[in-house]
Amino acid sequence: MNLRLRLSPRLLSFTMGLSLSACSWAQSDKTDFGAVAGTVVNMLMDNHYSRRDFDNELSKKALQNYIDYYDYNRLYFTKAEIESFHANYETKLDDYVALNKIDPAKEIFKAYAQHLKDRAAKIRELLQPGKLDFNTKEEASISRKDAPWANSEAELDELWKRQITREVLQERLKISLAALRKKEKTEAEVKKADATGQPAPATEAAPLKPEEAKPFEDAKDGKAKEKMPDTPEQKVQKRYDSFLKIIQEYDDEDITNFFLSAIASAYDPHSEYLSAPEEDRFKIEMKKSVIGIGAELGMKDGAAEIRRVVPTGPADKSGAIHVGDLITGVGEGAEGELKNLDGLKLQKIVELIRGSENTTVRLRIIPADDPTTFREVRIVRQKVEIKDTLAKAELIEMNKPGAAPLRIGWIQLESFYGDMENSNRRGAMSATGHVRALLNRLQKENISGLVLDLRGNGGGFLEEAIRLSGLFIKSGPVVQQRDNRDRTEPRFSRGSEPVYSGPLVVVTDRASASASEICAAALQDYGRAVVVGDKTTFGKGTVQTILPVADQMPLFSEHDRAGSLKVTIQKFYRINGWSTQHKGVAADVVLPSRYDAMEVGESFLKDPLPYDVIKTMKFDMAPTNPLPIADLKSRSEARVTANPEFKYITDYVTRTHDIIKKNTLSLNENDRIAEDTATEATFFKQKQERKTRIAEANKTGDPYTVFPLTLDTLGEATLKTDAQVKKDAKPEARLSPDDGEGDPTTTADDEETFPHGIEPVKAETLQVVRDLIELTTQAPKNTAKRD
């Protein structure tokens, strides 16, 4: 049984993020999704940790979850409709699915789709010239998730008028902000030129005002010669047209997907139904490989657009596929008919492109650089490794005048990935195997300390978390699991000796969840590592498994696309008996974080399982115990207090809290421009202060020398610096903007950057490692047992 510990995607990632992948098997319209629903509910009752029947109480929760999937901000349904849904189905969903029926889901979706279609027509009317007022004193709500449902269609019309005014205004503000940033950049360049005596660079034309965005016309024939940027109104219109098209393409499989996920999440927020395409995406995410052409797609103008080309993949090697190209036809094999893609969902287009290894797919391409023509491309499908999310490392030299560089290893792990189906096979994909390889190379470089960066790591496979923890401790317990029959099972690392025994810091944030929390907690409990970062991690202390639905359906039923159920079957506990559920793993050294302003974590989710504790296990403390936590905290607090970068973060948190509490935005353009100008002035001042500090720090030489290390460069005799890598290496991936037009508010020059990518948290973590090395060099250790 492969156990998975990871955060769950929801409606937004499915409807607006279809660009990544889809399944590779043949389509089937025969699957009985009513039977799928009945089977999934039986599987939930049999396997979920709570051992609860799908009763009236859960039926009520599931109904509200399903409504929220479609109308989270309460902008489509009226109060009367919601009351009708509850009256008809609140205590009856369990009865319907017991009869293998999904009629309530279809009815609610049908009503939603009709509302969306009607609303799109009204939005189109609102976006006509002169319809919106940007001199108003009105305000719009930021979030309506807790607002009452509208009493009438007229009330919804007024809410939507404010919503569309807000969205168009936001696009207008982007243009104004782009002009402001260009002005700041020009003034800074002129000031620099005056100081150095060099001529200032030629200035570019200012961005167009919103009302000036129209096609360029030739003076002679009046024909459009160049596509100008969309107006703010056009951008908003395209956004809703695109969303309407997605919804209109929904079929029973999509409706069942949301309906069953609504039921599963009534049990707990991490149980969910995975449709066939989502199941395929999950496998790709965990195995970090896929059979295909090595490109990611998105929809644009009714065609599939190349959004990303993976270096060294088949598409890249062909030399015929480029970012921005449009795919309008797909054919199987070296010869034969090309299937036109008009009207197909992106999910189905990707299914056509995917196939078996070493088979040929033909694509009809409209090139991005010449949209007046098309070409046919033949590509042989191959296994493509998704390398940009694999474990990676850096050798960082901390430089001080008159002293030898202090060498620190930094390993970044975005997930606990692995190929659990082939875990015992030599060379199988494994986060632990990759980290071990990076760690061995770093130790050859004589590192004095190590950082394991788990920020943003939402989890992965339980077994990988256990194995990876064992790289840093002797054989011993790592985590405890308890099932729905109150049976507790300890899980052990099996390595007799750790791969690395030196000073160790684990850095986490609020997005570090599940398997990340197992690893961080174990190393903390053993006294093996200092945890640095946000106040606490996510707080997900539950274990899920993936169960194929088809396996539980009647033998001769149609279930080609029955999908899978991801269901919570266990809770996990630290070896000290504490649960990480809700509370997460508290950092030993806490740093200010932008997450402090956000509702991120298990406690903010609906219907999470409760926190509890169990018996502490017996284990031997690591030789590094006790760690000098108090000294590390006091030293760090002094630096953080004196560091303006962390003051910027705390100011951001305060501002964001105020905005969230107010929950409204002005719809007056002049007022918003004044607000944005003041905010931009603050950010510009911070950037200038940062540049001054960096220049001052570099007067005696660069404080850091960084040597990137990837799985592809492990065998190189001499590591290259990040500057050499940037100069010599091909980009890891080539991307196009999601909407094909880019964001006018940011440029490469405008983005806030830090030398070597060492931002405030990373810089402070490195200082904590330096302190740890200094404080533990001669300190006596306590290896007593914990009872």
State residue 200's pLDDT score: 55
Q: Are 18 and 299 in contact (CB under 8 A)?
A: yes
Q: Are 709 and 395 in contact (CB under 8 A)?
A: yes
User: Residue 626: is the preceding peptide bond cis (ω within 30°)?
Assistant: yes
Top-confidence residue, 221 or 404:
404
Q: Is the pLDDT of residue 261 over 60?
A: yes
State residue 387's pLDDT score: 82
Q: How far apart are CA 560 and CA 360, in angstroms?
A: 25
Catalytic residue flag (residue 514): yes
Within a 13 Å sphere around the CA of 248, how many CA atoms are in the beta-carbon half?
14
Average pLDDT (473-502) is 94
State residue 547's pLDDT score: 95
Q: Is the pLDDT of residue 424 over 90?
A: no
DSSP secondary structure code for residue 576 in this structure: T
Angle between the N-to-C axes of helices 103-126 and 232-248, in degrees from 0 to 180, rounded to the nearest 10? 160
DSSP string, 17-35: -TTS----SPP-S---HHH
Q: How far apart are CA 481 and CA 79, in angstroms?
A: 44
State residue 202's pLDDT score: 54
Average pLDDT (757-772) is 97
Please tell me the least confidently modeled range out of 9-18, 92-101, 124-133: 9-18
Catalytic residue flag (residue 771): no
State residue 193's pLDDT score: 65
pLDDT in tens, 702-717: 999 999 999 999 999 9
Q: How confident is the model at residue 192 (pLDDT cuts 50, 70, 90)?
A: low
Top-confidence residue, 205 or 128:
128
Top-confidence residue, 355 or 720:
720
Which residue in 176, 261, 514, 516 is the catalytic one? 514
* Average confidence score pLDDT of the chain: 87
Burial of 496 (0-12, 13-18, 19+ CB in 10 A): exposed
Tokens for 510, please give them: 């609020």
Taking the CA atoms of 575, 581, 583 and 588 in sequence, report the sign of the dihedral they define.
positive
Catalytic residue flag (residue 254): no
Top-confidence residue, 418 or 187:
418
Select the highest-mean-pLDDT range: 366-375, 492-501, 733-742. 492-501
Beta strands (DSSP E) in 585-702 are 589-590, 619-620, 664-666
State residue 664's pLDDT score: 94
Average pLDDT (643-666) is 94
pLDDT in tens, 664-692: 999 999 999 999 999 989 998 999 999 99
Which residue in 174, 540, 566, 571 is the catalytic one? 540
State residue 17's pLDDT score: 32
Average pLDDT (574-591) is 97
pLDDT in tens, 717-748: 999 999 999 888 665 444 444 443 443 333 33
Q: Is the pLDDT of residue 23 over 50?
A: no
Residue the block writes with tokens 């990988």: 464
Q: How confident is the model at residue 197 (pLDDT cuts 50, 70, 90)?
A: low
Top-confidence residue, 221 or 362:
362
Which residue in 525, 534, 588, 596 is the catalytic one? 525
